[in-house]
Structure 1
Amino acid sequence: MPTNLNPYISFRSNAREALAFYSTVLGAEAVTSTFGEGGMSQSPADADLIMHGQITSPSGLVLMAADTPEHMEWTPGGSIAVSISGDDLAELTGYWEKLSDGATITAPFATAPWGDTFGMLVDKFGVSWLINASAPAAG
């Protein structure tokens, strides 16, 4: 098995909703476990929160997420962005269009000065995304 780097996004009580949204973006079901199921809830309010959630897309993209219980420190959005890149413009355009629902577009998905199709947005959950579709190779 290769070593992988997977984004892991923290939420405050809405990881289930975010994972459902990202499932539609990536085209795969989220697998989740709660703090209650894992025997890790420190209060009854934590029991139904997502302790770990994971989506693995048909093309192998992995996104992980969890709720941060109230007793733990949490900063929305932090200083991380999730980047999806590749050469399948149709696939990447699909991700862009779905992530754009309720998002703030910080750079439109358009031809960039370096020739690729690129865009940036902050989705409705406050997560920053960068989407880059490589320009076709000159032949």
Structure 2
Amino acid sequence: MEPYLFFDGNCEAALTFYQHCLGGQVAELRRFRGSPMEDQLPAAWLDKVMHAKFEADGHRFMASDRTPGQPFGGHAGYYMAVNLPGDPVRGEHVFKALATGGMITMPFATTFWGAHFGMLVDKFGVGWMVNCEMAP
């Protein structure tokens, strides 16, 4: 299974931000311009993201901008989980990068289960959990 994130017109900015934070890359990006939907959309929406794939460390999620007229309910009821086994330094770096402009809901720290873990909501409203399990 792969998450599919919808954005309210700022998908490309979010993907650029995630590239910086996670060190991944946008593997595919298609715009509404040139698609069968082109004639149905306002001109200002044609260069928005119709579909994208983002990859980092062998994992992937997909994303797009909602189409005009579809309500945008935000990002609620889920978190994107990043697991960086045995690398709390990188975990803290990723956590701090994702938290830039967002809100930390649980600071990145050592937990009772022996991992380094933190939770945040990024500046695009997407919830993230960063976990670094340590070897026993």
| Secondary structure of the corresponding residue to residue 9 of structure 1 | strand
List per-residue Cα deviations over 1:22-76 (Å, max 9, x = no partner).
Answer: 111222332311111323232233311101111112x212122100022112211
In the aligned structure 1, how far is the partner of 2:31 from the partner of 2:68? Answer: 15
Q: Unpaired runs of 5+ in structure 1?
A: none
Selected match of 1:67 from 65, 79, 90: 65
In the aligned structure 2, how far is the partner of 1:136 from the partner of 1:93? Answer: 17
Q: Give 1:109's aligned residue.
A: 108
Selected match of 1:80 from 72, 78, 81: 78
The 3 A distance-change label for structure 1 pair 63 and 94 is farther
Q: Give 2:52's aligned residue.
A: 53
Selected match of 2:20 from 19, 24, 30: 24
Instruction: Work out whether residues 9 and 48 of structure 2, in 8 Å CA contact, stay in contact via their aligned partners in 1.
Output: yes
The 3 A distance-change label for structure 1 pair 6 and 94 is farther
Q: Unpaired runs of 5+ in structure 2?
A: none
Q: Which amino acid aligns with 1:39?
A: P
The 3 A distance-change label for structure 1 pair 37 and 95 is farther
Instruction: Work out whether residues 116 and 131 of structure 2, in 8 Å CA contact, stay in contact via their aligned partners in 1.
Output: yes
Q: Give 1:39's aligned residue.
A: 36
Q: Give 1:134's aligned residue.
A: 133
Scaled by the length of structure 1, what TM-score is found?
0.86
Structure 1 residue 92: Cα displacement: 2.4
Q: Superposition RMSD on alpha carbons, in Å?
A: 1.5
Q: Give 1:11's aligned residue.
A: 7
Q: Which amino acid aligns with 1:80?
A: Y
Q: After superposing the two structures, state which structure 1 stretch, 37-46 or 47-56, moved more.
A: 37-46
The 3 A distance-change label for structure 1 pair 88 and 52 is farther
Structure 1 residue 100: Cα displacement: 1.5
Q: What percentage of residue pairs aligned between the two structures are identical?
A: 33
Scaled by the length of structure 2, what TM-score is found?
0.88
Instruction: Work out whether residues 49 and 69 of structure 1, in 8 Å CA contact, stay in contact via their aligned partners in 2.
Output: no
